[in-house]
């Protein structure tokens, strides 16, 4: 397939691997922020192509994984209400809440439906006007513009029964949290599809303020290896900067129309992240002009005490402090069929990825 096969060329992969091996002069730790990168890195066996000096650490860029338990609990409360239909991306179904999951609620009879796009949620709301349709909005800057278009369309169509529960988040604050934390990294493989929307500028503070390398990478093997090579060279030259490897999709300014959609509908708010707690300014909530679509305003639910499974170390994994193998439940009590924590649920989750692509 075009824009895929060319970047999986075996000769180029081996050549890049060679270049990286010849370029290392010290140890390097790089964090791949995006769960899509984590998944691609292990699927394509990238670690086996790297010299031992390079350590890749997965980060907090899997939207399902960072969605906190209280969000799932709220979604479950809505799903138990009469005449409410929950519409969601599939992965969220299996993420454990404090005492249930959306999947379990669905089996018990709750009306929960899976879609690929917010526009499908809108269709359900249009055709079933007697129902309140609650769309679970999760995802970073890549996904939030689509939700913004969906909400604006709902407003234009005068839909009264479409509601949003937003856990949308933005990337820079959590990357800043990591940059200023105890974990020692030399640079980031920056999320390419976030940058497709935002442009490359949102990462500039990382080299400027924290002296960290930043390469916005594509998702094919040569993309990832080329990005790692650029990072190694930046670190060797002691000249960290924001560079775009994924130039077929990412520009300096990004997608201005998508940014405009997002800015019209959302404003920044504090948000709760699994593993990090509340990060100021890292969430997106509907602006007051759109608050009729905000389910938390229209039908407030009492936030009850929630609890996480304390033996799941997803939080530490998302912060780059530990790896899936360090969890006592990995492969034993916790598997993709029976996930104990969010990182085992999603295809982009570190635990799920390690489970699938690493032998026991």
Interface segment toward another protein; rule CB under 8 A; list 51-59, 133-141, 157-165, 209-217: 133-141
Angle CA 204–205–208, to nearest 5: 90
Which of another protein, ligand SF4, none is residue 340 near (CB under 5 to 8 Å by kind)?
Answer: ligand SF4
Nearest to 205 by CA among 197, 215, 214, 216: 214
Q: Which is nearer to another protein, 85 or 261 (CB)?
A: 261
Binding-site string for another protein from residue 84 to residue 123, where x marks contact by CB under 8 A and - marks none: -----xxxx----------------------xxxxxx---
Interface segment toward ligand SF4; rule CB under 6 A; list 74-82, 162-170, 173-181, 343-351: 343-351
353 binds another protein (CB under 8 A): no
Q: Is 26 helix (H, G, I), strand (E, B) or coil?
A: coil
Considering only 346, 351, 354, 355, the residue that binds another protein (CB under 8 A) is: 346
CA atoms within 13 A on the CB side of 141: 28
Nearest to 63 by CA among 166, 151, 134: 166
Q: Residue-wise over 168-192: b if at least 16 C-beta within 10 A, else e?
A: bbbbbbbbbbbbeeeeebbbbbbbb
Give Cα 93 distance to the centre of its chain.
16
40 binds ligand SF4 (CB under 6 A): no
Q: Which is nearer to ligand SF4, 272 or 352 (CB)?
A: 352
CB of 153 to another protein, least distance (A): 8
Distance CA 290, CA 278 (A): 24
334 binds ligand SF4 (CB under 6 A): yes
DSSP H helices, 29-117, are 35-43, 63-66, 69-79, 102-107
| E strand map for the chain | 28-34, 54-61, 84-88, 111-114, 132-139, 162-168, 187-191, 213-217, 242-244, 266-273, 277-286
The count of residues in the chain is 360
196 binds another protein (CB under 8 A): yes
3 binds another protein (CB under 8 A): yes
Scan residues 258-317 and list those touching ligand SF4 (CB under 6 A).
Answer: 312-314, 317
Angle CA 10–14–17, to nearest 5: 140
CB of 145 to ligand SF4, least distance (A): 29
* C-beta atoms surrounding 69 within 10 Å: 19
Task: Pull the structure tokens for residue 202.
Answer: 């949102």
Which of another protein, ligand SF4, none is residue 330 near (CB under 5 to 8 Å by kind)?
Answer: ligand SF4
Residue at shortest CB range from ligand SF4:
341
Interface segment toward another protein; rule CB under 8 A; list 6-14, 52-60, 74-82, 235-243: 6-14
Distance CA 245, CA 218 (A): 7
Give just the sign of the alpha carbon dihedral 121, 123, 128, 132.
positive
Scan residues 60-79 and list those touching another protein (CB under 8 A).
Answer: 62-64
CB of 182 to ligand SF4, least distance (A): 19
Contact residues toward another protein (CB under 8 A) are 1-4, 6-7, 11-12, 15-16, 18-19, 34-36, 62-64, 89-92, 115-120, 138-140, 142-143, 145-146, 149, 193, 196-197, 222-223, 226, 245, 247-249, 255, 257-258, 261, 346-348
Contact residues toward ligand SF4 (CB under 6 A) are 312-314, 317, 324, 327, 329-330, 334, 340-341, 343-344, 351
């Amino acid at each position: 397939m075009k824009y895929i096969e060319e970047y999986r060329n075996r000769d180029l992969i081996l050549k890049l691997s060679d270049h990286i091996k010849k370029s290392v002069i010290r140890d390097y730790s790089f964090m791949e922020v995006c769960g899509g990168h984590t998944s691609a890195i292990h699927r394509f066996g990238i670690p086996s192509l790297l010299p031992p000096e390079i350590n890749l650490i997965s980060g907090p860029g899997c939207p399902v994984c960072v969605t906190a338990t209280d969000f799932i609990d709220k979604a479950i409360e809505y799903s138990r209400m009469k005449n409410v239909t929950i519409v969601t991306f599939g992965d969220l179904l299996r993420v454990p809440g404090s005492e249930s999951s959306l999947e379990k609620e669905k089996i018990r009879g709750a009306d929960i439906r899976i879609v690929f796009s917010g526009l499908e949620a809108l269709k359900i709301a249009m055709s079933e006007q007697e129902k309140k349709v609650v769309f679970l909005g999760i995802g970073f800057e890549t996904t939030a513009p689509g939700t913004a278009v969906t909400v604006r369309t709902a407003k234009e169509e005068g839909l009264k029964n479409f509601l949003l529960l937003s856990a949308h988040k933005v990337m820079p604050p959590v990357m800043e949290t990591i940059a200023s934390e105890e974990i020692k990294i030399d640079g980031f493989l920056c999320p390419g599809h976030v940058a497709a929307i935002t442009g490359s500028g949102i990462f500039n503070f990382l080299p400027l303020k924290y002296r960290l390398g930043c390469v916005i990478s594509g998702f094919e093997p040569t993309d990832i290896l080329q990005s790692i090579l650029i990072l190694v060279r930046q670190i060797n030259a002691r000249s960290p900067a924001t560079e775009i490897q994924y130039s077929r999709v990412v520009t300096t300014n990004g997608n201005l129309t998508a940014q405009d959609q997002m800015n019209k509908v959302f404003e920044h708010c504090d948000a709760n992240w699994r593993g990090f707690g509340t990060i100021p300014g890292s969430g997106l909530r509907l602006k007051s002009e759109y608050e009729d679509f905000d389910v938390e305003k229209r039908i407030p639910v009492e936030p009850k005490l929630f609890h996480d499974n304390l033996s799941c170390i997803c939080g530490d994994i998302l912060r780059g402090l530990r790896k899936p193998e360090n969890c006592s439940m990995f492969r034993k009590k916790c598997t993709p069929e029976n996930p104990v924590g969010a990182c085992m649920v999603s295809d982009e989750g570190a635990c799920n990825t390690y489970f699938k692509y690493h032998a026991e």
